[in-house]
Each structure stands twice: as structure tokens, then as C-alpha cells.
């Protein structure tokens, strides 16, 4: 029996970039990897981009997406191409996949379950049908079936469920499967989170085992619209086994993963294992659309009848092809990809960074340097010049010292810059700080001192640094990196319009504890993307400190706040798990038995107070990447009132 081949395309899209998205889609269809595939599957909303936000309300967006669909349908008529776009039907806007074949739009399939938790707000823009649909609509002046169908191509029966449909408790595929579907296509826009790919594998492998079919998952990849990073990683799961997996977090415009199989393999598993479920659910029969015969073509490499023998050969991608990344490597690759795409899509020349000699700014510098290396490895040495970037000027750092800075932090900053081979400058801002303080002293008629005016004297140093680093960034034509982490955002441990300034906050999605562990993991030689560094070793021999108080006071972050491990645990329990104070205290007592309950309860009270009064700060922080199972970015992750009883 002839093998059937499916190509799953992981695509890097940009919202509202119809031309750019179309060119990537066309290139992927014409790629040698997908040229002899029977089905080419693209991710959800790949024509318009997933993150169009309220631009989805524009009729011009739907119309442009439909125009692009008309261009795609004729690129390779002898293949089934499945692409995503928004479609307006009657009074509602739907998130849909279009099935293209024989130069026609064969059907439009709407998403049934809309993602509306965490970073997703699809119900703001899209309507979800309450039941399976089967109607005819007009699209580009053509009559097209709209609804939920089983598609018959040659001898293969396939159906489509879009992203959240595959994660739902009651999956549409449960009904499709009882009608003899061999292949379930799951096009997605599934965001990156540490460890999430393992969950995807588990879900699809188990569903393929339960339904005795082939599950095909494909995903967007890259920093699509600023905050959310998609990780690619298309894969095939057959009858309980992961049989092929593509590249994750790739820096290329697209990556193609293929799998060839005999339909008899699927059907034998069904005959052996599938039994009619009881009790029966009430569901109307799902209609079938037959896609038809092959269109004759002069291009032999696109005619299925001439390439079938190639698919009789051993499938070279019959096993997973990617190497599992550790949690710290996932973080590395995801943030590097996020920074690369943010710079590329904003059409900016580089990043400027206020390098303090601390862990956060050092991490930012290392990640910028690392994304350059990965980008060249995956796209070729010429990628930087193609994008109009000067590698020597891609990262510019500035150390802004005061009398409260220790010599060791400047040495760390300088050493790191040498190790990364990036532009480094050091200036003293004492004179500007003194001038600012003197001006306000003349206004208030008082002399500021550390006993009475501690916070104001700390903050003015951070605020003086902000306009200087912004000036340097503007002169460079750069974006300014903000170095804050999630722990600082939770308790407001940042100076507004000071160290909080920036264009993007790449680390705000993870805790300080995680970042310190990440640096330690590098020094152990465990990170395949980053080599150990002398500057990191120097840094880890110092205590995290803001260096805003006189050196004699030995300021440390954990003295100002609490141990980062405890802060991280409290934050996770209160913000993510929504636990009560007493439950949090009980959990902390078991995690940190060396701390008294009184001390732990004091930490909880301090966290709750600081978290409540800091929401206005979080509202004003730069956009951040979503990286963990939860985040604090009010736009994409965690919404909390600015004013409340906890303020």
C-alpha cells in the first residue's frame, strides 16, 4: 500500500504583515521538504498573525486575509493545504482553518473552543459555535462549506481541531474518531512556557492512543507580537507513540516536519483496540467532504502520481529528531528568540543596556550576545548584514557609578563586556545626583539626609541614570533593555522612571531565584548555548544589591525584602495557587523549617502589602515575555486592581 505523507509547518508570523506572512507560507509550500506531501498543515491564524488584538475588528483585515487565501489556493493545487485566518460569517467573527485543494477553498472550519485563560483572550474577538456547524457561506464571491467536516483525500479520512479544541475536556475529535478518522490535524498558536512541550507531547500521545489515530500538531514560532513567544516544535503522535518531532524555538522563518505512514497501520490499531463507547453521546453525524482527483500538472515534482515511489522508502523522520532541552536551556533559547524577533520586527539596530555588575543586567547582556550566535548558526553568517545590523554595535553597555557603588561591580561589568566583545562605557553620575539633590533642597529649604530621606536619596540615583541611558540608546538607534525580574515586579522593588525604564523587560517573566540558578547552571557547563565565564563567577561571589545606599550600610536585596527563595514560594502560592494566608504559612513551614512561624508570617504580610501597593508600578513596566506557568504582566498574564482593600 502506498504511503501517505504529511508536512507540518512551524511558521514565524507577524500580525498584520500579510505580504510577509504570505511569502513565508508560499516558501514553505514550495520547499523540497513539503513538495511531495499530500497534506501541508500550517498553524492557527497564520495569514493574519495570531496577535492582531483589537485590529481583528477591522473589516479590512478579514478582507485582506481572504485575498491572501485566494493567492495561496493556487500555489500547489495537487496538495491539500490547510491555513488559518479570521472569517466573518453573518454577525460573528470566527477563528478558522481553510482547507485548500484543486485550486479551490474546499471548506472553512471554525474553532469550537476558544482559549480564554492565562495569556489568551480569544473571546474578546471571536465567536465560538455551540455545536457542530454545516452551512454554506460566500467567501470571495464563491460558495464554500462552513462547519465541522471529515475530509476524504484519496483513501485517508482526516479532520481538524484548532489548538484549544485539542486541550478541551470534550474534544471534537472524540466525535470525528467514531466516524473513522485516520488523521487528526491540530494547528495551533500555543505559547511558550517552561516545560510546556512535555505536556503537549503527553496530551497528544495519549489522545492518539485513546483514539487509535495519527495526531498532527503544528505551532507558530517566535516572538510574534511582543509579549508572547511561540516555540514551534511540530510533532506527530501515532497510536500512543511520538514518532516525529521538529525543531523548537527556531530562528528561521519556518521549519517543516514530515511523517509518512501506511493507512493500514492506523486502521489495524483501530480494529484491534477501538470499541464503541457507552453511554452514547448525542451528536449529529459529521458530514464528509471528498477532495477529488489530482489535477494534471506540467511540474512533475508537484504531481503526486510521480512521487509515490519516494514515499515507499524508509521514513527518515520516523523517530523524534530534536534533543530535549533542560529548563535553563529552554529559557535561554526562548528569550534569545524573543529578543531577536523583537529587534527584527521593530526594525531597530540593537540594544543598549545599563550594565550594573548585577545578575539581572548581566543576564540581559549574555542573552543578547547568545541570540547573535544562534541567529548566525541557523540563518547563516550573513543574517545580521541582511537585517542591517552591525554586530560590533548590536549591544552597547554603560556602567553608571556613584560613590555607593563598590569597585567589584564595575570590574564585573567591564569583565563581562570584554568576554562578550561588546561596546562598554563607564561614567560617574555623582555630580548630577548632587546637583539634583541641591536643587530640591533649595526648594524645600532642608538638607536631605539618609536617616530621614532614605528612599528619596536612593531613588534619585536610579532616576538620574534613566535619561542618560535613554540618551545613549537614542543616539545608537537602539531599544533600551529593562532588567527587572518577576520577583522585583511582585513587590515593587524598582524605581519608577529609573531602573524600570526600557523598551522591553525580557526577564520579568521569571523569578530572581531562577535567574541565579540559571547563572550557576552555566558555570557548571550545562548550557549548550553559553560557556562558563569569569565574570559570572565573580558575580556569584557577591550578594545581590541595588547599591543605592552608602557602602557602610552593606545593602543587600534580601535584607531589604526577604530571602528570594521564600519570596518566590510566597508569590507562587498567593498569586498562582490563590492560597489563603494560613495555607501559605503551613506550606512555608514545611519548606523552610529553620525559619520560625512568626518570621514566615511576617514575610507573608510584607509580601501581601507590597504586592497590593505595587500594581500601579506593574501597569507601567515595559512589555515582558511570558516565560513561566504564570506571569505578572497586566496585559498578558495577571490582572489585579490598582486600588483595592489590599492597596
Catalytic residue IDs = 44, 111, 163
* Cβ-contact 585, 603 below 8 angstroms: no
Distance (Å, whole) CA 242 – CA 561: 46
Distance (Å, whole) CA 217 – CA 236: 6
- Please tell me whether 196 is known to bind a ligand: yes
Q: What is the distance, to the nearest Å, from the Cα of residue 405 to the centroid of all Cα atoms in its chain?
A: 36
* Cβ-contact 428, 401 below 8 angstroms: yes
- And the C-alpha cell for 453? 530621606
SS3 232: strand
**Phi, psi at residue 119, to the nearest 5°?**
-90, 0
- And the C-alpha cell for 643? 486600588
DSSP codes of every residue in 540-598: HTS------S-GGG---HHHHS--HHHHHHHHIIIIIS---HHHHHHHHHHH-TTS-HH
SS3 107: strand
Quick one: which of 207, 205, 233, 201 has its CA closest to 219? 233
- Please tell me whether 198 is known to bind a ligand: no
DSSP 191: B
- Please tell me whether 241 is known to bind a ligand: no
**Phi, psi at residue 162, to the nearest 5°?**
-100, 115
Distance (Å, whole) CA 608 – CA 598: 15
Q: Which residue has the cell 489522545?
A: 207
Distance (Å, whole) CA 131 – CA 125: 19
Cα-Cα-Cα-Cα dihedral sign, residues 240, 244, 250, 256: negative
Distance (Å, whole) CA 465 – CA 549: 15
- And the C-alpha cell for 43? 498553524
* Cβ-contact 95, 83 below 8 angstroms: no
**Could you tell me whether strands 214-219 and 183-188 are parallel, antiparallel, or unpaired per DSSP bridges?**
parallel
Distance (Å, whole) CA 333 – CA 251: 10
- Please tell me whether 617 is known to bind a ligand: yes
* Cβ-contact 633, 508 below 8 angstroms: yes
* Cβ-contact 507, 515 below 8 angstroms: yes
Quick one: which of 396, 359, 416 has its CA closest to 546? 359
Q: In DSSP terms, which residues pair with 395 in a beta bridge?
A: 351
**Which residues are CB-neighbours of 152 under 8 A, at least 6 positions away?**
288, 289, 290, 291
- Please tell me whether 466 is known to bind a ligand: no
Output Rg (C-alpha) for the chain, integer angstroms: 27
- Sequence ranges of the binding site for deamido-NAD(+): 459, 488, 617
Give the residue numbers of the binding site.
Answer: 190, 196, 459, 483, 488, 617
Amino acid at each position: 500500500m502506498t504511503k501517505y505523507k504529511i508536512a507540518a509547518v512551524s511558521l514565524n508570523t507577524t500580525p498584520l504583515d500579510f505580504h510577509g506572512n504570505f511569502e513565508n507560507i508560499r516558501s514553505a509550500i514550495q520547499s523540497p521538504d513539503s513538495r511531495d506531501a499530500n497534506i501541508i498543515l500550517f498553524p492557527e491564524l497564520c495569514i493574519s498573525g495570531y496577535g492582531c488584538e483589537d485590529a481583528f475588528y477591522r473589516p479590512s483585515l478579514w478582507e485582506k486575509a481572504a485575498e491572501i487565501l485566494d493567492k495561496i489556493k493556487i500555489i500547489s493545487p495537487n496538495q491539500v493545504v490547510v491555513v488559518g485566518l479570521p472569517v466573518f460569517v453573518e454577525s460573528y467573527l470566527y477563528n478558522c482553518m481553510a482547507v485548500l485543494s484543486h485550486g479551490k477553498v474546499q471548506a472553512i472550519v471554525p474553532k469550537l473552543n476558544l482559549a480564554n485563560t492565562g495569556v489568551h483572550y480569544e473571546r474578546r474577538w471571536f465567536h465560538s459555535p455551540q455545536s457542530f456547524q454545516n452551512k454554506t457561506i460566500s467567501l470571495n464571491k464563491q460558495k464554500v462549506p462552513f462547519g465541522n467536516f471529515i475530509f476524504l483525500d484519496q483513501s485517508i479520512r482526516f479532520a481538524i481541531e484548532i489548538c484549544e479544541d485539542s486541550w478541551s475536556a470534550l474534544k471534537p475529535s472524540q466525535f470525528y474518531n467514531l466516524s473513522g478518522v485516520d488523521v487528526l490535524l491540530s494547528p495551533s498558536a500555543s505559547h511558550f512556557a517552561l516545560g510546556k512541550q512535555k505536556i503537549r507531547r503527553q496530551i497528544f500521545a495519549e489522545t492518539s492512543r485513546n483514539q487509535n489515530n495519527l495526531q498532527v500538531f503544528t505551532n507558530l514560532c517566535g516572538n510574534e507580537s511582543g509579549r508572547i513567544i511561540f516555540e514551534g516544535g511540530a510533532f506527530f503522535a501515532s497510536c500512543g507513540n511520538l514518532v516525529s518531532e521538529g525543531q523548537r524555538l527556531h530562528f528561521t522563518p519556518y521549519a517543516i516536519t514530515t511523517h509518512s505512514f501506511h493507512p493500514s497501520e492506523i486502521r489495524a490499531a483501530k480494529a484491534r483496540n477501538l470499541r464503541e463507547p457507552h453511554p452514547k453521546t448525542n451528536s449529529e453525524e459529521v458530514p464528509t467532504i471528498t477532495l477529488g482527483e489530482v489535477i494534471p500538472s506540467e511540474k512533475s515534482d508537484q504531481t503526486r502520481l510521480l512521487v509515490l515511489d519516494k514515499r515507499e522508502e524508509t521514513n527518515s523522520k520516523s523517530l523524534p529528531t530534536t534533543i530535549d532541552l533542560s529548563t535553563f536551556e529552554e529559557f535561554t533559547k526562548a528569550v534569545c528568540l524573543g529578543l531577536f524577533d523583537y529587534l527584527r520586527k521593530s526594525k531597530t539596530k540593537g540594544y543598549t543596556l545599563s550594565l550594573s555588575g548585577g545578575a539581572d543586567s548581566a543576564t540581559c547582556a549574555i542573552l543578547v550576545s547568545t541570540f547573535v550566535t544562534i541567529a548566525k548558526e541557523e540563518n547563516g553568517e550573513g543574517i545580521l548584514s541582511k537585517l542591517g545590523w552591525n554586530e560590533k554595535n548590536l549591544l552597547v553597555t554603560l556602567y553608571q557609578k556613584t560613590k555607593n557603588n563598590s569597585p567589584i561591580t564595575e570590574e564585573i561589568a567591564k569583565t563581562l563586556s570584554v568576554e562578550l566583545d561588546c561596546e562598554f562605557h563607564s561614567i560617574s553620575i555623582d555630580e548630577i545626583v548632587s546637583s539634583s539633590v541641591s536643587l530640591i533642597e533649595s526648594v524645600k529649604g532642608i538638607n536631605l539626609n539618609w536617616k530621614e530621606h532614605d528612599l528619596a536619596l536612593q531613588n534619585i540615583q536610579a532616576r538620574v541614570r534613566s535619561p542618560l541611558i535613554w540618551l545613549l540608546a537614542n543616539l545608537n538607534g537602539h531599544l533600551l533593555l529593562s532588567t527587572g525580574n518577576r520577583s522585583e515586579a511582585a513587590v515593587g522593588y524598582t524605581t519608577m522612571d529609573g531602573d524600570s525604564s526600557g523598551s522591553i523587560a525580557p526577564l520579568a517573566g521569571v523569578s530572581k531565584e531562577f535567574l541565579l540558578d540559571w547563572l550557576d547552571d552555566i558555570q557548571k557547563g550545562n548550557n549548550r548555548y553559553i560557556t562558563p565565564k569569569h565574570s559570572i563567577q565573580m558575580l556569584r561571589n557577591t550578594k545581590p544589591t541595588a547599591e543605592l545606599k552608602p557602602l557602610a550600610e552593606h545593602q543587600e536585596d534580601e535584607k531589604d525584602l526577604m530571602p528570594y527563595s521564600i519570596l518566590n514560594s510566597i508569590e507562587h502560592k498567593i498569586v498562582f495557587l490563590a492560597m489563603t494566608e494560613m495555607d501559605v504559612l503551613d506550606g512555608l513551614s514545611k519548606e523552610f523549617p529553620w525559619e520560625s512561624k512568626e518570621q514566615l508570617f511576617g514575610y507573608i504580610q510584607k509580601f501581601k502589602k507590597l504586592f497590593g501597593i505595587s500594581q500601579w508600578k506593574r501597569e507601567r513596566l515595559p512589555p515582558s515575555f511570558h516565560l513561566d506557568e504564570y506571569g505578572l504582566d497586566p496585559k498578558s498574564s495577571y490582572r489585579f486592581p490598582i486600588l483595592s482593600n489590599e492597596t
